[in-house]
Structure 1
Amino acid sequence: TIITEEQAISLTSAITSELTQMGQNVLTKTVSSFFSVISIGIFIVLMPILVFFMLKDKYIIMKWFKRFIPKDSKLTLSIWKEVDEQIGNYVRGKVMEIFIVGLVTYILFILFNMQYAILLATLTGFSVLIPYIGAALVTIPIALVSFFQFGWSSDFAWIMISYGIIQLLDGNVLVPWLFSEVNNLHPIAIIIAVLFFGGIWGFWGVFFAIPLATMVNAIINAWPKKNEVTEI
């Protein structure tokens, strides 16, 4: 015989071991991915609810926080007022970004008579809430719809190129310009904040980079200047 009984047993054991190891790896990755998807889903559901109630009951929340602030603490109240104003500006700026990106993307899709233009443009607009990752995720359905409608044609290529340009302009031009206008932050400060906080906390650092930069800027603006301290 070409293969002896011992060789067959050894080969069977090796295959069984490999399949077992492969199954364990697949199971581990599946469970890990499942919990990651669940976590992202919970975040997506809870964040809008949290923002809604914070905006709806902001005066109640502010009143609750004031209980822990000394009545004569002018500096603390000044910082709180500045932070509240700047965060409000940030929310308005983000709403403007969603509208602009969604509108420009919708115009692009309409020019090419693309199917599901409103839905895809809406998804693109809201994708700016999750920097970089949101745009990457939305690119998948846009590419699929465009491919099934146009195939490997020049229309497909132009749509994807134009969509990529929109994303580049949003991240590198619109965001720095828009938030520097509404939050009085220089575009360089915004870029540095994204790099700094993203380097420290990864994805969440990028997500909260502008609010954190806004808060730091508000504290700096509200902090007494040297001449003010001298007068006091």
Structure 2
Amino acid sequence: MIRILRGLAHKYFSDEEAVILFLLLVAGTAFIIWFGAMLAPVIASLIVAFILQGLVTKLVRMGAPEIVAILGVFTVFMGVMVGFIFGLLPLIWVQVGKLAGETPRIIGELQSYLEVLPQEYPQLISAEAVNTLYQQVSTEVGHMTQWLVSFSLSSIPDLVALLIYVVLVPILVFFFLKDREVILGAIARLLPPQRPMMLQIWHEVNLQCANYVRGKALEILIVGGATYIAFKLLGMPYAALLSLLVGLSVVIPYIGAAVVTIPVMVIGLFAFGWGSHFIWVMVVYGVIQALDGNVLVPVLFSEVNNLHPVAIIVAVLFFGGIWGLWGVFFAIPLATMLKAVFTAWPVAYSIPEPAGDDVAE
């Protein structure tokens, strides 16, 4: 056993830089797990600044002074943030409340649809199965309605937290953009002067994660905006709420699109019934999904290394279980980071000389 452990240590930790990197990864993960909730505004600001830094860099390469580029990008960010808080967010909240109020009517129509199924398909569906399904749906919808009521009654602490984010995040984002070189220089002074493996991993992670995060943010805006315009033109109810769900669904490849299709179909069915209007809604929605998967994704993520679908699903389940929504959003960048670490990790294939006690054995 001692010989096996010594061999593994020699193979993967014979390089001093590998040991330091391993300790940094363990310490960073533990820090985020224990203090992540407390420092959530700082982490959110880092993520936003990381996304915006690409625009700043492009403007500087085009000849704009750095401070002008920072101020311009920050102004655009503040405009988008104000528009979301005072424009889109109230509209979505109103539509959520309206949908909760129409829930009894939707349940009643759902019951009428379900009652017809045993008569048309007696070999496949029984009346007992329909009754069981209806009771389960009614129970889940009742729980959801109670959650909405309790959420509205206990929303004052959430509003306070939202105000903290609204005030702190823009300030932190500005200083992260303005003093980026100073912050990175201070961190670099804490690391060993000779760090070729860390530089290789940083370059790979910075390239892959930056392209992915910025591309994914742009994909959410394009898919969500296109869905909202299409649904409004087709007269689809709850267009803002559904377009938000469709936009966020691109965060989880394969799974998100399949899950969000269910509420789109249900609301379209209860709004228009089985007819040409409902078919048009689903056709347009399918075209948007097809264009996203076959045109938009290859264009936005052409420089990102593709991961195997199994690796993506495992990463989404694992990091989502640890960090919730943030873990789901950054599952692929985190998986890419792990891939870069494993690729650059130094491995010593030479067999270490056995110690005296090993020879005696």
State the TM-score, normalized to the length of structure 1: 0.54
Cα distance between partner residues in 2 of 1:116 and 1:202: 26
Cα distance between partner residues in 2 of 1:36 and 1:185: 43
Structure 1: tracts of 5 or more residues without a match: 1-25, 228-232
Residue 68 of structure 1 and its aligned partner are, at CA, apart by 1.1
1:88 to 205, 210, 221: 210
Q: Identity, % of aligned pairs?
A: 37
Relative to structure 1, the CA distance from residue 158 to residue 179 in structure 2 (aligned partners, 3 Å threshold; closer, same or farther) is same
The answer to whether the 8 A contact 1:101-1:170 is kept is no
Residue 184 of structure 1 and its aligned partner are, at CA, apart by 0.1
Alignment of 1:55-70 (within 5 A): 57-70=179-192
The answer to whether the 8 A contact 2:212-2:301 is kept is no
Aligned residues: 198
Equivalent residue, structure 2, for 1:19: none
Secondary structure at the aligned position of 2:190 is classed as coil
The answer to whether the 8 A contact 2:213-2:333 is kept is no
Equivalent residue, structure 1, for 2:278: 157
Equivalent residue, structure 2, for 1:186: 307
1:42 to 148, 157, 162: 162
Structure 2: tracts of 5 or more residues without a match: 1-145, 350-361
Residue 222 of structure 1 and its aligned partner are, at CA, apart by 2.8
Relative to structure 1, the CA distance from residue 70 to residue 39 in structure 2 (aligned partners, 3 Å threshold; closer, same or farther) is farther
Greater Cα shift, 191-200 or 52-61 = 52-61
Residue by residue, what CA displacement relative to the aligned partner does 1:180-201 show, whole Å, maximum 9, x if unpaired? 6442022413223113323455
Equivalent residue, structure 2, for 1:18: none
Residue 66 of structure 1 and its aligned partner are, at CA, apart by 0.6
Alignment of 1:207-226 (within 5 A): 207-224=329-346
Residue 31 of structure 1 and its aligned partner are, at CA, apart by 7.6
The answer to whether 1:197 aligns with 2:292 is: no
Residue 208 of structure 1 and its aligned partner are, at CA, apart by 2.5
RMSD: 5.4
Cα distance between partner residues in 1 of 2:312 and 2:295: 12
Amino acid at match of 1:94: K
Cα distance between partner residues in 1 of 2:233 and 2:314: 36
Amino acid at match of 1:219: V
Higher RCO, Cα 8 Å, sep 6+ = 2
Residue by residue, what CA displacement relative to the aligned partner does 1:5-33 show, whole Å, maximum 9, x if unpaired? xxxxxxxxxxxxxxxxxxxxx9xx94897
Amino acid at match of 1:38: D
The answer to whether the 8 A contact 2:315-2:331 is kept is yes
The answer to whether the 8 A contact 2:211-2:301 is kept is no
Relative to structure 1, the CA distance from residue 38 to residue 66 in structure 2 (aligned partners, 3 Å threshold; closer, same or farther) is same
Cα distance between partner residues in 1 of 2:343 and 2:196: 14
Residue 65 of structure 1 and its aligned partner are, at CA, apart by 1.6
Cα distance between partner residues in 2 of 1:176 and 1:92: 12
Residue 206 of structure 1 and its aligned partner are, at CA, apart by 1.9
Greater Cα shift, 75-84 or 166-175 = 166-175
